[in-house]
Structure 1
Amino acid sequence: MPTTLLVPADPLRPRRPDEHFAPEADAAREAGLDVAVVDHDALTTPDGARRAVARVQEGDRQAVYRGWMLRAGRYAAFAEALRDRGVTLRTSAAQYRQAHELPGWYAALAEVTPPTVWTTGDGREAFERAASDLGTGRAVLRDYTKSMKHHWHEAAFIPDLADTSAAWAVAQRFRELRDDEFTGGFVLRRFEELSKAEVRTWWVGGVCTLVGPHPDTPHDPPPNLDLAAVAPLVAALGLPFVTVDLALRADGVWRVIELGDGQVSDRPGTVDPETFVAAVL
């Protein structure tokens, strides 16, 4: 079955790929793949999925999306609109949610990632109950899909969960900053000291096909990586296309910081698009 790469359209030139994804689109065409653009703005609206995929050619084909993050419900509508055109996303709506939202993958990777608890919703009572379950000490706050690590001291890092008022103040600031993008509930993760920058790994069909720097530190070459403990756990998830971000803990143990859907994970600019496309498509 032929594969089509789907990328967001440039908002000002809707027949062309968004400039952020244009290098990948060019590399895919050079590799002989079909490329089509979708209207990301339409995808984010309740009834816009069919309009968003209007430029995707109809026909029996598989597609891989490389674009901006979508809520799980919007991705499901996207997948349905494509199915109506005979196009099947390699990653199903259920698989996307499992990879994109932390509760979907945490249990499978619990032994190689910091201890974690979460709430449903943004209420204080549920937050304090979850904090109590995690215990005292340092923690990092996020929601099901994203942290606010660039607002570290005001909306991400909690120095001591025992100080419930201070912890809740961080949660309130996080909720304020996430605004309409807040997803699922609060997630509290035990803080662990890391000795090096994160590494982003790319997995297709449960196999690691590419190792590179994290987008936040694109010029830091990844160190020698030991995936022995992680690889079988990622493979057992049965997900078609994911990223796994890892970092070396201060005691020399590799830890999973994040698993994400590969379609909406950013490619560091220092990973050339030709290498990337060959590895993941």
Structure 2
Amino acid sequence: MTPLLLVPSDPLRPRRPDEHFAAEAAAAREAGIAVTVIDHDAAARAGGADLAVSNVRVQGPAIYRGWMLHADRYAALERSLADRGVVLRTAADQYRQAHELPGWYEALAAITPESVWTVGDERDAFDKARAQLGEGPAVLRDYTKSMKHYWHEAAYVPDVADGDAAWRVASRFRELRGDDFTGGFVLRRFESFTGAEVRTWWVDGGCRLVTAHPDSPGALPPADLDPAGAASLDAGGLAAAVRGLGLPFVTVDLALRDDDRWRVIELGDGQVSDRPTSIPAETFIEALIPHAG
């Protein structure tokens, strides 16, 4: 059964899709896929899930394409939709596993930078995590997001052995993330990459689409890049790792390291991963949605 597509509503015109997802909604309707809107702002608030889905009138399996939600809010949305006969293709525990780095890191450890993390934002836990990496540069983030646009003040740690300097970066990161801070600090060993990232899209463990990264939509991926069998991925194999996670719809961002090895930068839930503008919405829907039912 082809799934229903759920997208955020326009804040000013609540019966219409948010402008950012309007092209995908139109492409889905053109392909014969039912589309309905939910109130993202309500879904993002504690206790707001029922209000968020109050305009949902269609039942059946569904895929969400929209803005990121905290995993707890996504779980509440799942419950409210289930009460209306709508079953999200990605269950709440699967969403958390894909959306938060500790959920996917072990499966991809061989092909992604070494990472350690804390539970919470305390200095003692941060220092213990630093000690696990030992020394050298690292990149800081939390379970779901980095602040790479504040690279030197809130992302890049020149040497994790320098505790006070590392904590200054962590403190600034925590300040910038505010209420959006998720889980704890994550320190990832710094690796040097060349060129722009590539975003790959996976449904049920199979790679369906290879695109530019949304941050650099004009930097198209190499035509011969095959993430399911790339010889330049380190031992373990990306396709086998993604299949092993058993997640229904994810993205994997790749970058070419300076030794010509492709490395995993990030795995994310495909529902909340942005589509680069260089891929037409029609191509995106055709490649992904029919396979996800």
Range of TM-score over shorter length: over 0.9
CA distance in 2, matches of 1:203, 1:246: 13
CA distance in 1, matches of 2:243, 2:195: 25
CA distance in 2, matches of 1:226, 1:205: 17
CA distance in 1, matches of 2:58, 2:162: 57
CA distance in 2, matches of 1:165, 1:89: 45
1:160-208 per-position Cα deviation (integer Å, ceiling 9, x unaligned): 1111111000000000000000000000000000012100000001100
Q: CA deviation at 1:260?
A: 0.1
CA distance in 2, matches of 1:274, 1:232: 29
Q: Structure 2: state its 5+ residue gaps.
A: 230-236
Q: CA deviation at 1:2?
A: 4.2
Q: Is the 8 A contact 1:142 1:156 kept in 2?
A: yes
In structure 2, the partner of 1:11 is 11
CA distance in 1, matches of 2:174, 2:213: 25
- In the TM superposition, what are the counterparts of 1:118-157 in structure 2 within 5 Å? 118-157=117-156
Q: CA deviation at 1:226?
A: 4.2
In structure 2, the partner of 1:242 is 250
Q: CA deviation at 1:91?
A: 0.1
Q: Secondary structure at the match of 1:197?
A: strand
In structure 1, the partner of 2:39 is 39
Q: CA RMSD in A?
A: 0.8
In structure 1, the partner of 2:104 is 105
Q: Is the 8 A contact 1:140 1:189 kept in 2?
A: yes
CA distance in 2, matches of 1:271, 1:11: 25
CA distance in 1, matches of 2:180, 2:146: 11
In structure 1, the partner of 2:181 is 182
List 4+ stretches of structure 1 deviating above 3 A: none
Q: Does 1:81 align with 2:89?
A: no
In structure 2, the partner of 1:277 is 285
Q: Secondary structure at the match of 1:150?
A: helix
Q: Structure 1: state its 5+ residue gaps.
A: none
Q: Is the 8 A contact 1:244 1:258 kept in 2?
A: yes
Q: Is the 8 A contact 1:99 1:259 kept in 2?
A: yes
CA distance in 2, matches of 1:196, 1:3: 36
CA, structure 1 residues 253+2, in 2 after alignment: closer, same or farther (shift >3 Å)? closer
1:225-271 per-position Cα deviation (integer Å, ceiling 9, x unaligned): 24232111111111000000000100011100000000000000111
In structure 1, the partner of 2:232 is none
For residue 247 of structure 2, what is the amino acid of its counterpart? L
In structure 1, the partner of 2:238 is 230
Q: Does 1:207 align with 2:215?
A: no
For residue 235 of structure 1, what is the amino acid of its counterpart? R
In structure 2, the partner of 1:68 is 67
CA distance in 1, matches of 2:132, 2:249: 32
Q: Is the 8 A contact 1:99 1:242 kept in 2?
A: yes
CA distance in 1, matches of 2:45, 2:148: 27
Q: Secondary structure at the match of 1:20?
A: helix
CA distance in 2, matches of 1:2, 1:118: 39
CA distance in 1, matches of 2:270, 2:288: 9
In structure 2, the partner of 1:260 is 268
Q: Secondary structure at the match of 1:216?
A: coil
Q: Secondary structure at the match of 1:26?
A: helix
CA distance in 2, matches of 1:157, 1:168: 11
Q: CA deviation at 1:51?
A: 0.9
How many pairs does the alignment contain?
280
1:44-87 per-position Cα deviation (integer Å, ceiling 9, x unaligned): 1111101101111143x100000000000000000000000111
CA distance in 1, matches of 2:81, 2:199: 29
Q: Is the 8 A contact 1:226 1:254 kept in 2?
A: no
CA distance in 1, matches of 2:263, 2:107: 14
In structure 1, the partner of 2:192 is 193
Q: Is the 8 A contact 1:249 1:255 kept in 2?
A: yes
